[in-house]
Structure 1
Amino acid sequence: MEGVVVRRVIPSDNSCLFNAVGYVMEHNRNKASELRQVIAATVASDPEKFNEAFLGKPNEAYCAWILDPEKWGGAIELAILSEYYGREIAAYDIQTTRCDLYGQEKKYNERAMLIYDGLHYDALAMSPFEGAPEEFDQTIFPVDHSRSIGPAEGLALNLVREAQRKRSYTDTANFTLRCGVCQIGVIGQKLRSKCQLLF
C-alpha cells in the first residue's frame, strides 16, 4: 500500500497503551478493559516467569494493579500483548527516536506500530493520503526476510523525527512542576513522593 504514515490519536485516559494496541491490532480504541484482563491472566498463570523481581511487585499485587483503569502500561504489557496477538509491536519514542521492538525474538511475520511521547501512546497507521478516513488505515505490516516492513518503517521514523524536531514529547526526567496546594517546586516525576496531598 502506498501512502503516508499517520498518527491516530488515542484518548488520554491512563489506558492509552491498551487502546492504542487495540486500534493497531483490531481497529478498536476501546480494548483497554479486555487487554488488562489478558495481561493479568497471563501474569497470574506463570508466577515463576512473572516474579517479583521481574514485575517490581508481587505477582498477585501486580495483577490487581494492572486491572486498575488509572494505572499505566509499559514494556511488560507490550511484551505480553505482542505474544497475545502473535505480532511484533514497534514502539517509537519521540524524545530519543528509538524504536523498541517487542516480540522480535519470536520472529513473528507481522508488525504493528505505536508512538510514545514520554507520557502517552498513540497508534501509527499507513493511510492512502493525509486526511483519508480511518477505515482505510493499514495497521498490520508483513515482516520480510530481512526483518523489515518496507517503506512504512522509514515513513514512521520520519514522522517520529519530525515530532522530535517540534519537541512534541514530555521529558519526564526534567520537566518542572509546582504543586498548587503546597507550592513545592520539583523536577521530573518526584512530585508524587514530595506531596501526598495530590496523590
Structure 2
Amino acid sequence: MDGPVVRRVIPSDNSCLFNAVGYVMENNKNKAPELRQVIAAAVASDPEKYNEAFLGKPNEAYCAWILDPEKWGGAIELSILSEYYGREIAAYDIQTTRCDLYGQGKNYNERAMLIYDGLHYDALAMSPAEGAPEEFDQTIYVVDQNRSIGPAEGLALDLAKEAHRKRSYTDTANFTLRCGVCQIGVIGQKEAVEHAQATGHVNFQEYK
C-alpha cells in the first residue's frame, strides 16, 4: 500500500506507550493491562539481565511499579515488547527527529512505528488515503535486506520533522509544570519526579 503515513492518537492516560504498541501490533488500543503483565513477567523471569542497575529499582519493585496503570513506559518496555512480538519497533522522537529502533540486530523481518513528543506516544500507520478509516491502516511493514521498510520510513521521518517544525513536543528537561494538587511550579522532569516522590502528588499540568 502506498499512501500517507498518519498519526493515530492514543488517549493520554499514562498507558499511551502500551496502547500505541497494542494498536500497531494488534489493531487494539486497549492492550495496556495485558502488555504490562507481559513486561512484568519478562523482567521477573530474568533477574540477572533485569537487575537493579539496569532497571533503576530492584527487580521485584519494578514489576509492581510497571503493573500500576498510573506509571509510564519508556525504552526498557519498548525493548521487551519488541522481543515479545518478534518485531522491530521504531520510535520517532519529535524533539530530536531521531528514530530509536528497538529489536535492532535481532534480524526480525517486520517493523512497527510509533511517534513520541517527550511525554506521549502515538501510533503511526500508513493509510490508503488522507482521512481513510482506521480499519484500512497498515501498521506492520516488511524489513528488506537493507534493513529498510521502504517509503513508509521516509514518510514517518517527514511527519516527525513537520511536528518538530511546529514545536509540537515537550522539552522534558526544561518544561514548566504546575502541580495540580498544591499548585507549586517545577521545571523539568527531574524536579517533577522529585516533587512527586516527596509529596505523592502526580497530577502535573504544563504551563507556559
Matched with 1:65 is 65
What secondary structure sits across from 2:90 in the alignment?
A: strand
The offset of 1:177, in angstroms, is 2.8
Question: What do residues 138-182 of structure 1 show as CA deviations (whole Å, max 9, x unaligned)?
Answer: 000000000000000000000000000000101111112344665
Query: What are structure 2's unaligned runs of at least 5 residues?
Result: 191-208
Task: Give, in whole Å, the separation in 1 of the partners of 2:110 and 2:124.
Answer: 14
Task: Give, in whole Å, the separation in 2 of the partners of 1:164 and 1:38.
Answer: 33
Matched with 1:164 is 164
Question: What do residues 24-72 of structure 1 show as CA deviations (whole Å, max 9, x unaligned)?
Answer: 0000000000000000000000001100000000000000000000000
The offset of 1:185, in angstroms, is 3.4
Query: What are structure 1's unaligned runs of at least 5 residues?
Result: 191-199
Going from structure 1 to structure 2, the CA distance change for 1:85 and 1:184 (only over 3 Å counts) comes to: same
Matched with 1:184 is 184
The offset of 1:8, in angstroms, is 0.2
Going from structure 1 to structure 2, the CA distance change for 1:76 and 1:166 (only over 3 Å counts) comes to: same
What secondary structure sits across from 1:105 in the alignment?
A: coil
Q: TM-score, normalised by structure 2?
A: 0.89
The offset of 1:186, in angstroms, is 2.7
The offset of 1:134, in angstroms, is 0.5
What secondary structure sits across from 2:89 in the alignment?
A: strand
The offset of 1:107, in angstroms, is 1.3
Percent of aligned pairs with the same amino acid: 90
Going from structure 1 to structure 2, the CA distance change for 1:61 and 1:179 (only over 3 Å counts) comes to: closer
The offset of 1:183, in angstroms, is 5.5
Give the ranges of 4+ consecutive aligned residues of structure 1 lying more than 6 Å apart after TM superposition.
none
What secondary structure sits across from 2:105 in the alignment?
A: helix
Aligned residues: 190
Task: Give, in whole Å, the separation in 2 of the partners of 1:45 and 1:179.
Answer: 37
Question: What do residues 82-129 of structure 1 show as CA deviations (whole Å, max 9, x unaligned)?
Answer: 000000000000000000000011010000000000000000000011
Give runs of aligned pairs for residues 74-113 of structure 1, distance below 5 A: 74-113=74-113
What secondary structure sits across from 2:21 in the alignment?
A: helix
Matched with 2:131 is 131
Task: Give, in whole Å, the separation in 1 of the partners of 2:149 and 2:77.
Answer: 23
Going from structure 1 to structure 2, the CA distance change for 1:55 and 1:140 (only over 3 Å counts) comes to: same
Going from structure 1 to structure 2, the CA distance change for 1:181 and 1:64 (only over 3 Å counts) comes to: closer
